[in-house]
């Protein structure tokens, strides 16, 4: 029991640090006010507070549901309750459906109401629910199969289950990273090749200078849903591609778009996706082993109770490890920024890009250090501008 108390206390400390940072806030300094107006900074602060409050509430709600389910399973079904595989899959599916219903009001408020309040979304209610249902079906399918497989492995191989589960997750992670861009992404966006021929020539030239081969630069029709601008690097092997939101291509200068592409090339050149996969695999094996030790101490050696216990364990552990994970991510993003500056030699466009992206996405440009430490996977905007100026 004391291990669960330590995990819960650690997770509460992390979430509490975010709450403290939100309450204290950061007064804008002269440099921040040089790049952003007071009205924008106030609006960004309000958006951050409501968004992160929803996030914190969601984490607490999930932890409460997983914790209650764990207690109910152990008390009324017993630590070693072993239904058939079909029955176990049914229990798991029903539990996940219940979890989706419990979190739906908060998801709708955060994903629809808040985004419309701050004029970031142009989705209708029907469109939002269409995306929500598609996402729910995908997650229910994957999670039901994955958790049922975990139950099967745990029941039949009580000593080696964590190794087999780690191998299974690793294979799924590799396959999922490879297939996501060609199976899941097209369910939510239509993709077209970048049509700007002059920019395409410049991209090929820049890729040659970077020593990498660019397979595809695609434009996603994000403007059907949002006014936000974004870009990302996805895929593995033959499915690697750089994706630009059409809002970015339409509203930003060609020089700024080239900085974005150069940044994504930086991720490519430094093999950040591969490194993230390797770290995820190592972290998964370590986490599964720790879960095995914990379950052995509790006397749980087989049975369906592993499902809510595992969900609670991984949720708490993910909260505790967020500062470490996001710290590594910020290092990767700084490397990609540096590569973008090296490839474009255009710090002026880099700075205006960060200004316009912040304004388009209503980003907090200088968060409280505690909020940055825990939640920021990217360096704050002001830090990125300062790095470009240097």
Angle subtended at Cα 38 by Cα 37 and Cα 41, rounded to the nearest 5 degrees = 90
Structure token digits, residue 349: 């466009």
Choose the catalytic residue: 337, 339, 346, 359.
Answer: 337
Residue 346 known to be catalytic: no
Residue 216 known to be catalytic: no
Strands of the chain, DSSP E: 191-193, 217-220, 231-234, 241-245
What global pTM score does this model have?
0.92
3-class DSSP state of 265? helix
The strand pair at 231-234 and 241-245 is best described as antiparallel
Residue-level pLDDT at 198: 84
Residue 90 and residue 84: Cα distance in Å, rounded? 10
3-class DSSP state of 219? strand
Under-70 pLDDT residues of the chain? 215
Q: How deeply is 299 buried, as exposed, middle or buried, from its count of CB atoms within 10 A (0-12, 13-18, 19+)?
A: exposed
Choose the catalytic residue: 48, 115, 256, 264.
Answer: 264
Q: Where are the domains of the chain?
A: 2-189+269-389
Structure token digits, residue 382: 């002001």
Residue 67 and residue 80: Cα distance in Å, rounded? 18
Residue-level pLDDT at 213: 78
Place of tokens 């992670």: 173
Are residues 264 and 270 in contact, defined by beta-carbon separation less than 8 angstroms? no
Residue-level pLDDT at 99: 96
In angstroms, how far apart are the furthest CA atoms of the chain?
67
């Amino acid at each position: 029991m004391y291990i669960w108390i330590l995990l819960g206390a650690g997770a509460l400390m992390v979430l509490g640090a975010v709450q403290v940072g939100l309450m204290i806030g950061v007064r804008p300094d002269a440099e921040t006010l040089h790049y952003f107006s007071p009205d924008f900074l106030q609006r960004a602060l309000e958006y951050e507070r409501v968004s992160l409050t929803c996030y914190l509430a969601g984490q607490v709600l999930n932890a409460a549901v997983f914790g209650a389910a764990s207690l109910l399973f152990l008390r009324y079904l017993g630590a070693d309750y072993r239904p058939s595989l079909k029955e176990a899959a049914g229990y798991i599916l029903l539990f996940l459906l219940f979890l989706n219903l419990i979190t739906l009001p908060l998801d709708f408020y955060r994903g629809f109401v808040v985004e419309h309040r701050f004029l970031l979304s142009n989705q209708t209610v029907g469109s939002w629910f269409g995306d929500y249902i598609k996402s729910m079906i995908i997650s229910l399918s994957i999670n039901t199969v994955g958790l049922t497989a975990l139950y099967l492995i745990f029941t039949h191989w009580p000593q080696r289950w964590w190794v087999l589960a780690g191998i299974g997750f690793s294979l799924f992670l590799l396959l999922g990273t490879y297939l996501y861009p060609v199976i899941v992404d097209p369910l939510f966006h239509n993709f077209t090749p970048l049509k700007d021929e002059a920019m395409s020539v410049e991209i090929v030239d820049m890729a040659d200078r970077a020593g990498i081969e660019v397979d595809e630069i695609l434009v996603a029709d994000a403007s059907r849903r949002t006014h936000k601008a974004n870009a990302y690097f996805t895929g593995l092997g033959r499915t690697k591609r750089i994706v630009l939101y059409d809002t970015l291509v339409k509203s930003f200068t060609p020089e700024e778009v080239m900085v974005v592409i150069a940044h994504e090339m930086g991720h490519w050149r430094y093999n950040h996706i591969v490194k993230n996969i390797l770290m995820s695999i190592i972290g998964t094996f370590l986490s599964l082993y720790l879960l095995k030790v914990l379950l052995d101490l509790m006397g749980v050696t087989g049975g369906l109770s592993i499902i809510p216990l595992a969900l609670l364990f991984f949720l708490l552990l993910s909260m505790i490890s967020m500062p470490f994970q996001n710290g590594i991510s910020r290092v990767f993003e700084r490397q990609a920024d540096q590569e973008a500056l090296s490839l474009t030699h255009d710090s002026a466009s880099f700075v205006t890009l960060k200004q316009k992206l912040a304004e388009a996405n209503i980003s907090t440009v200088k968060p409280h250090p505690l909020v940055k430490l825990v939640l920021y996977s990217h360096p704050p905007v002001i830090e990125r501008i300062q790095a470009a100026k240097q």
